[in-house]
Structure 1
Amino acid sequence: MDQGHRLLRAGEETFSFDLPQTLLRKGGDVDQIRQVCTVLTGAFDDAAARDVRVCVHPPDAYSFFTPISSDVPVRDRKRQLFQQAALVTGARSADELYLDSQTVRTTQDSEGEPFMWVHVLGVPKAADEQMSEVVGMLPMKRYDWIVSSEAVGRVSSRLERTGGSAREALRPYTLAVGQYPTHTEYFLSRNREWYHAHYAEEADSPENRAYFAVGFMNRVDVPLDAVGRLYVYGMDVDIGDYGRFVDIFDQVPEVLNPFRIVQSRSDPTEGEGALYAPCIGAGMDEYVG
């Protein structure tokens, strides 16, 4: 994808093995990694891109939010983030993890003291080094990581920019639901800015997805009637399955289709848009309203 959000190419490849297990776990099978490198080299041999963004789903990495006081110095902040990451991942040393963090929002505690909600993405260092070797065989030599829930937010923020009703303006939150065979993702934004995210491995039916969506909203203390837009993305999306969401949120879900804002040389379907939303979002820069 170029800076004008023109999609230069898109495609998919089916492997006979578990791709995340091969690339993101220590000691991945060498022959399988070589197969991946061969496919990627062929796909990007003449690519003009300079960077690679590796988009991972939450179950395949460590993705979590943690509160940090706004008064904490930067150096101490990094130490606190690693301590929290160690609790989540079991890592004993900073050398065991690749960590990326960003402040998502600033708010106040019950006593009026400011604090930040920080998102942390952690990848085992062995997986990061393995990915470095893979990217080293491609024309692009630089890479970074992004979690899929953040990537789809870059799509939804731009879709919202294209229009919205007065009713939606009074309901400033957007909820995007990503359905996959292994898990369901939830991305929440407020006025087009990332607010929180969550995923559930047990949400394998429309009813369960709705149940966990309500639990997520309650946990972050956002009223259900504050959601002004509702998107769905992922694999085998059928909007007809989301009738329960209409009852709960009083919103008709839409397919999160990045091809509404991205120029493409082909004529992709809405289902392809739902499938490619995280990948296309990963290729976009962070939205600045």
Structure 2
Amino acid sequence: MLRPVVVGLDSSLRSLTAADWAAREALRRRLPLQVVQAWEGVTAPCDTERPELNGPRCLARRMLADTAVRLRASYPQLTVSTLQIAGSAADVLTQVGAEAELLVLGSRAVSGVGGFLAGSVAQVVVGHVDRPVVLVRADGTLADEHLPDGEGEPSTHTPYRDVVVGVDPRHPCEELLSFAFESAALRAAPLRVVHTWRPPYVHAAAVARARRAVAASAARSLSAAVAPWREKFPGVEVHEVVREGRPSQVLPAAAQDAGLLVVGRRIRSARVGTRTGSVSHAATHRVRCPVAVVAHD
């Protein structure tokens, strides 16, 4: 059975923008789209003798249905289903995200009908879901995924912007590279694989030589990690980028003109707890393009 692309819906513009991005991604992957809404209020049917108790829920359900109608009209080749689940937003999204090919969320939102992204819900979900989670900003458009035209104007007919992924070859990153290469292949977009390094602590007289050695070693490690994926995706144009600095600073800068940024999140045991990590946190706060957070060992 195919895993769907799942998008969370609330009353915010951000979630509607995320729904459009999710629809396009589902088409690229040839997967169905499921639009999910969490509901924490009264769960009685909308046609009870006390409709005032269920007015907000009925409104939320109508928004869910209207969104599905709009998506089917905009993307007629796409299979769209809807689901309203009673429960807290974080619990619902974590539940459906576990069964999704990827989960798409608006990166920030105001509270409203069903307001599942109010507060820190998005960060909680990212920290608990082991499937890829994509965060989409409210002002994103289809043209933002593509390069400007010859006159520098937004276009939906030009090639896709680069996909950027940050990796650390010292740790397993197969899931991360797999998602990044597949995303680039689906878009026929170039892929920039970014690895950062930090200068060694050595005597001042040996600094220059040590820095060159560390930079060269980082480049070799990156090439070795990427080589098998180049063979699996021979049609993807790959650029290996090695930069000095912290990943939380280098990656946002490298993705300023990207169409998608892919970052990793280490899966931690229940004893340690879950967290998004400094790189994911920096990316979701400083990058304008959609950010995919991919959990890995």
TM-score by structure 2 length?
0.29
Q: Which has the larger radius of gyration?
A: 2
User: Which structure has the highest strand share of the two?
Assistant: 1
